[in-house]
Structure 1
Amino acid sequence: MPVSAPPAALDDSPGARRREQRGWYFYDWANSAFYTVVISVFLGPYLIPVAKTAACAKDFPTVASGTCLDTFDALVLRHPGLGYVDVLGADIRPAAYFGLITTIAVFLQILVLPVVGALADHTGRKKELLGGFAYVGALAAMCLFFVEGDRYLLGGVLFILANLAYGASVVVYDSFLPQISTPEERDGVSSRGWAIGYLGGGLLLALNLVLYLQHESLGLTQGMAVRICMASAALWWATFTIIPLLRLRNRPVPAHESTALRSVGGSFRQLGRTLAELRRYPLTLLFLIAYLVYNDGVQTVIGNSAAFASEALKLSQDVQITAILMVQFVAFFGALLLGRLARSFGTKRTVLASLVLWTAIVAMAMFVAEGQALQFYLMAFAIAIVLGGTQALSRSLFSLVIPRGREAEYFSLLQISDKGSAFIGSLTITLALQFTNSYRIAILSMVVFFVIGFVLLAVTNLPRAIRAAGNEVPGRI
């Protein structure tokens, strides 16, 4: 039996919006700790040795565990048929295990996130869904503390669950943006949220790196220090999620099915209609494609920066870690800076200018001298200036070219298209390395993504796209 939407209209005064915006910012602060601390820094380097421990116990039982880990690659070289771990009946090299579970997590997001978006829009219970996914993800991440010894499968399952919940929560979180801000406020709100996220993730990472680097003086093993760091990120995520849950408000939606099962069925039907109706918004589709192209370049450069530093520049891990920290804090100011520039020069022009800077940055990679940490820091500093702003302003622009009442669905399409296209940049890097064996040329190949993305965005008539979606065109776009 259908139920009626809440009858009373919500207070949409500037004061009420600001209260929600301040709460909304804190979810970026909360979830960035998981992405920065767990995904970007600690989990991969920790989980691969766990998988190697399992392979040692299975294939080299006569070799002492510590000795086996230290000489694992040499043992595998002498015994190429050994040194695998079992994953659902498949033999997987430990070095490939983290990449495998990341691929599985991305694939599941492609399947699940559209349903999450449709369910959020269909039921209107965005706050409940945000909290539910956030706490499922935080609980799974907290349980990573128990991954030790040879428990590589437990680590893989927990990471997949945490990453899936993280992506689902971000879809719901992003869909609040057009509801809590006017078109004129959108750039500033999006930029501040992104900036605060970098600040939160950077602050916790700095604290964790102190613990990690001083673990011996604290009487901790390296593994225990890593596990504490990952658990702290989960606790941070769970604790600060309370703030947006207290501040954000659900919006009234049309009548919908009363049971959970019927709501999911209605969500699938609504998603099908959204995909079919996307043809009615060709300029929205063009913007989405432009974003996917240049954002693929952004994500690929960031994802390969550590390998570029170690392989092409021969820089130490200490340099890489300090560069990551610097990027987190400088990106906070960079996102705010680009948000202010957007108010003065227009959002589209600012994003286009940032793509020119991205092109110049990857071209610089050809000239950074081996062993020159200062030059690498300067390159990382330039990346940090444009990193957060490019993504924040793109999120703001996308929120303007999607129809009202379908925000979560369209942001789910943005998220899954982002995940689904990510392999193109990785494939380009792989092919460049295969044919040239040069990380400099591989990074330089990303110029293609920035140039094509620039052209597609430049030819997108954003005012017409905004009007076609039924939204108000800001005074400066």
Structure 2
Amino acid sequence: MGLVALTSFIPITLETLASQEGHLYGTNEPCVAKPSNAATAGALQEGERPRCMISFGHIEVDTASFVMYLTSLAVLLQALTVVSISSMADHGSYRKKQLVVFSALGSVATMLIGAMPYVWMAGALSVIANVSFGAGIVCFNAYLPLLVRNIEQLRLKREELTSVEREIEGDTERRQANRSGDDAASLALADRIGVTEVAAALEEEEGDRRESDEPLVTGQQIIDHSLEQKMKLSLEISEQLNEEKSQLMGQISARGFASGYFGGILLLLVCLYISYLDKSSMWSLKFGIFLSGLWWCLFAGLAGVWLKERPGRELILSDRDRKRGSLWVASRYVVYSWNRVGGTIIQARKLPNAFAFLISWFFLSDGYTSIANVAVLFAKTSLRLSQTLLILLSLVVPICALIGTLAFPRLQKALGYDQKQMVMLLLILLVMVPVYGTLGLILPFWPKLSSAKELFALASYYGFLIGAVQRSMFADLVPKGRESEFFGLYAITDKGSSWLGPLAIAAITDATQEIRYAFIFLLVLLSLPIPIIYFGVDMHQGRLDAEKASQELLQSQEADTDRGSADEDERERLLSTV
């Protein structure tokens, strides 16, 4: 619900407020007043878009560019915030607390935006709302693998796998012990460990090839055969576990997105009805922003009641740190988060499949953000759609997205595709959006995206392709116990690139006076992830790498516990390096 306000209502409202305080380019005439200059009036009658500028001291910027600059600032602050909180959600019981606090802060800021009379006030609140939304999403994403891990059928499958692995470990130890004993002792040992059935099977296989006075089977063969069968069983169970985990993760992720889109659709329908009744004012948009914040606040409260804490391992701090109070302890967590982000990047580079995915996500997320941020402003400033049509355009995207998030998991199951194959399919389909716009620049007979019908068709197609597949794909590659940290890096990658698209499109528009040339930039941006994922991500190996990293982390934590207080001074030194 907060996403509806941040991507639709708030940008339109900010641009409108900026226009009310702005002036036409090259004149002192207000943008919203009837033009007195004949040339300006003639341009308006011919359908050209007069540039509306807003001044900040001696600096003038286009009102649409102002919104994109503000978005870039919010994204930068989001990235800094995400880095600071990423590790706090992995240690102690902060994951749920952070989700609730940032949701409350963002929802209240959102509700207040519509009441602000000046653009700078509304702009400041929009930055707070954006930062809070991004920080909350990090905690929300970190819950996904935890929710999947605690599903009953996966828990039972893990217990079965653990049991088989323990038997393999026991057989391996017995095989080592057997090398120093004779066959009689080995057979006696084999009988005690319950592998007489294996002996019988081997005797039947060997019976035709051995003389009657020779031993039919040795203890070593019995144990080797048992070990071989159990290793095959372990591999089979592991593959089943990964497949079920992947499918369940995609289903839960899709349902979460679908519920969000459904809430957004309800809100947009209410605002559309109000806009239809009152076409001349911004009241419907401001009411929509307030309702978005209220809805966000209410459902964040439900999450606070229903979600379990699922605390992580406590961060070990010295007694001196703890005696300095909660604010000092919180600062230690922030410092530790910044120290760990470098380690996370190093760790991600040790996981080549996860690292390749993050590189692709750098470009893909920027493409998503660029299309979403620019579309509404393009519709308002270039096509000059009415307020009712703008709300209707915002309504089309989540409706189609709801259909897509429900349809693609079923399509994935019907096609038998894994997460990587589905992401590849979605990417290829998504690239068709900028291809359509680029062909309009190259081919004289191709439509040039100059009508509301074309924009609505593209918005429907784009909305249908927005899904949660890429998020659940990354969750498969994340080491257990470091979910918040890695999803923090996921969000940093997202926000670290999301300011580039709007700025690049603004620069292209300023240079060419035509926003349609941005389709070429978007085509390149959305095409780059395709070869990176296809050639750089191996899901099977990625899962194995993540499991190995999880085991190394567990061993490291156990070693820290054993060392206890002897390591406190060293940790304090590391925490003070920033």
Shift of 1:309: 5.3
Q: Which amino acid aligns with 1:247?
A: W
Residue of structure 2 equivalent to 1:337: 407
Residue of structure 1 equivalent to 2:73: 104
Supply the distance in 2 between the matched residues of 1:55 and 1:372 (Cα, whole angstroms).
Answer: 27
User: C-alpha deviations, 1:30-71, integer Å up to 9, x for none?
Assistant: xxx2221x3223223333443455568xxx99x9xxx77415
Residue of structure 1 equivalent to 2:224: none
Supply the distance in 2 between the matched residues of 1:463 and 1:73 (Cα, whole angstroms).
Answer: 68
TM-score by structure 2 length? 0.65
Residue of structure 1 equivalent to 2:359: 289
Work out whether 1:379 is the aligned partner of 2:458.
yes
User: C-alpha deviations, 1:48-107, integer Å up to 9, x for none?
Assistant: 443455568xxx99x9xxx774158979x9xxxx97544xx7745471443333222111
Q: Which amino acid aligns with 1:346?
A: D
Relative to structure 1, the CA distance from residue 50 to residue 431 in structure 2 (aligned partners, 3 Å threshold; closer, same or farther) is closer
Residue 447 (structure 2) aligned to one of 361, 368, 375: 368
Q: Which amino acid aligns with 1:461?
A: D
Q: Which amino acid aligns with 1:448?
A: V
Relative to structure 1, the CA distance from residue 312 to residue 141 in structure 2 (aligned partners, 3 Å threshold; closer, same or farther) is closer
Q: 3-state SS of the aligned residue for 2:114?
A: helix
Whether the 8 Å CA contact 2:412–2:422 is kept in 1: the answer is yes
Supply the distance in 2 between the matched residues of 1:84 and 1:386 (Cα, whole angstroms).
Answer: 36
Whether the 8 Å CA contact 1:127–1:248 is kept in 2: the answer is yes
Residue of structure 2 equivalent to 1:229: 288
Residue of structure 1 equivalent to 2:272: 209
Supply the distance in 2 between the matched residues of 1:207 and 1:159 (Cα, whole angstroms).
Answer: 22
Work out whether 1:245 is the aligned partner of 2:304.
yes
Residue of structure 2 equivalent to 1:29: none
Whether the 8 Å CA contact 1:52–1:94 is kept in 2: the answer is no
User: C-alpha deviations, 1:124-155, integer Å up to 9, x for none?
Assistant: 3211111111001111111223202xx22321
Residue of structure 1 equivalent to 2:108: 139
Supply the distance in 1 between the matched residues of 2:509 and 2:114 (Cα, whole angstroms).
Answer: 36
Whether the 8 Å CA contact 1:330–1:384 is kept in 2: the answer is yes
Shift of 1:360: 2.5
Q: Which amino acid aligns with 2:479?
A: P
Q: 3-state SS of the aligned residue for 1:469?
A: helix
Relative to structure 1, the CA distance from residue 178 to residue 68 in structure 2 (aligned partners, 3 Å threshold; closer, same or farther) is closer
Residue of structure 2 equivalent to 1:41: 8
Relative to structure 1, the CA distance from residue 423 to residue 317 in structure 2 (aligned partners, 3 Å threshold; closer, same or farther) is same
Equivalent residue runs for 1:172-183 within 5 Å: 172-182=139-149, 183=245
Work out whether 1:402 is the aligned partner of 2:478.
yes
Whether the 8 Å CA contact 2:361–2:493 is kept in 1: the answer is no
Shift of 1:364: 2.6
Residue of structure 2 equivalent to 1:328: 398
Gaps of 5+ in 1: 1-32, 473-477
Work out whether 1:195 is the aligned partner of 2:258.
yes
User: C-alpha deviations, 1:98-124, integer Å up to 9, x for none?
Assistant: 333322211111211111111111233
Relative to structure 1, the CA distance from residue 90 to residue 44 in structure 2 (aligned partners, 3 Å threshold; closer, same or farther) is farther
Relative to structure 1, the CA distance from residue 471 to residue 441 in structure 2 (aligned partners, 3 Å threshold; closer, same or farther) is farther
Relative to structure 1, the CA distance from residue 260 to residue 249 in structure 2 (aligned partners, 3 Å threshold; closer, same or farther) is farther
Whether the 8 Å CA contact 2:113–2:289 is kept in 1: the answer is yes
User: C-alpha deviations, 1:158-180, integer Å up to 9, x for none?
Assistant: 11111111111111111100000
Supply the distance in 2 between the matched residues of 1:240 and 1:152 (Cα, whole angstroms).
Answer: 28
Q: Which moved more, 1:41-50 or 1:432-441?
A: 432-441
Relative to structure 1, the CA distance from residue 433 to residue 230 in structure 2 (aligned partners, 3 Å threshold; closer, same or farther) is closer
Supply the distance in 2 between the matched residues of 1:422 and 1:73 (Cα, whole angstroms).
Answer: 40
Relative to structure 1, the CA distance from residue 94 to residue 52 in structure 2 (aligned partners, 3 Å threshold; closer, same or farther) is farther
Work out whether 1:265 is the aligned partner of 2:332.
yes
Whether the 8 Å CA contact 2:433–2:458 is kept in 1: the answer is yes
Shift of 1:321: 3.7
Residue 359 (structure 1) aligned to one of 406, 420, 431: 431
Relative to structure 1, the CA distance from residue 115 to residue 304 in structure 2 (aligned partners, 3 Å threshold; closer, same or farther) is same
Shift of 1:397: 0.8
Whether the 8 Å CA contact 1:131–1:245 is kept in 2: the answer is yes
Shift of 1:340: 2.1
Supply the distance in 2 between the matched residues of 1:401 and 1:443 (Cα, whole angstroms).
Answer: 32
Q: Which amino acid aligns with 2:364?
A: Y
Q: 3-state SS of the aligned residue for 1:211?
A: helix
Residue 158 (structure 1) aligned to one of 125, 128, 132: 125
What value does the CA root-mean-square deviation take over the aligned residues? 3.3
Supply the distance in 2 between the matched residues of 1:305 and 1:51 (Cα, whole angstroms).
Answer: 18
Relative to structure 1, the CA distance from residue 112 to residue 469 in structure 2 (aligned partners, 3 Å threshold; closer, same or farther) is same
Residue of structure 1 equivalent to 2:17: 50
Supply the distance in 2 between the matched residues of 1:376 and 1:52 (Cα, whole angstroms).
Answer: 23
Whether the 8 Å CA contact 1:323–1:377 is kept in 2: the answer is yes
Whether the 8 Å CA contact 2:99–2:140 is kept in 1: the answer is yes
